[in-house]
Amino acid sequence: MTTRRKPQPPERGDARQALLDATLTLVRKQGWAATSIDQLCREVGVTKGAFFHHFASKEALGVAAAEHWSAVTGAVFANAPYHAHEDPLDRVLGYVDFRIAIAKGPLEAFTCFVGTTVQESFATSAPIRDACGESIFGHAERLEDDFRAAIAKYPPAIDVTAESLAQYTQTVVQGGFVLSKAKGNRAPLVDSLGHLKNYLTLLFKGQRHG
């Protein structure tokens, strides 16, 4: 019988960061309601006193964790390879390809903290709902410039806006996460992203050269 090793307490001053990181990991694996303060403290190796030194409540943790998620994922997408494409439509399609490429490993490794959390807390915590919404819509806004440039370069035959396309993209992504959780594997997400790429290609294809 193996005994679970007691986690080493974080270095002084790093407890807040460690609690935020553990929150992202545990919530994506088991959900917001199932993740307790006691479990987080055990996972990180800190006392509840240390937790409440950094966060006034679990709700405050949720808000801070949503902001932390935005910072962590923002850095990943800011440095993603699709930004290197000169053509804006290639950047848009490259974003979808990047989403497919990073959908690997267990579901909790690639599904969304804020998407998971807002589904559970939208009716019970306005601060968490708003923080999660800001993260999701903030990510969508980062796609708008490329969509706007693609619309200008390859005007679609139907009336669309950069904002609506960016938000639709996030609707597909978040819906794909939910279906993958229901199925127990990544296939629904990958399939949905494939259909999204097909739609975007067809949307702009009539005006695209080459």
Per the structure, the complete domain to which residue 191 belongs is given by 59-205
Residue 10 domain flag: no
Q: Is the pTM of this model over 0.85?
A: yes
Mean pLDDT (whole number) for 161-182: 98
* Identity at 183, one-letter amino acid code: K
Asked if residue 14 is part of any domain, the answer here is no
- Is 130 a domain residue? yes
Residue 126 lies in a domain: yes
Residue 183 within a domain: yes
* Tens digit of each residue's pLDDT (9 = 90 or more) over 42-98: 999 999 999 999 999 999 999 999 999 999 999 999 999 999 999 999 999 999 999
Residue at 51 is within a domain: no
* 69 part of a folded domain: yes
pLDDT score for 10 = 56
Give the domain CATH number at 71: 1.10.357.10
Query: What's the mean pLDDT when you consider all of the chain?
Result: 93
Number of compact structural domains in the chain:
1
On the question of pLDDT at 209 being above 50, the answer is: no
Confidence at residue 205, expressed as pLDDT on a 0 to 100 scale: 82
CB of 61 closer than 8 Å to CB of 36: no
Q: Are 131 and 42 in contact (CB under 8 A)?
A: no
Tell me the per-residue pLDDT of 17-26, one tens digit each, with 9 for 90 and over.
999 999 999 9
Q: Does 151 map to a domain?
A: yes
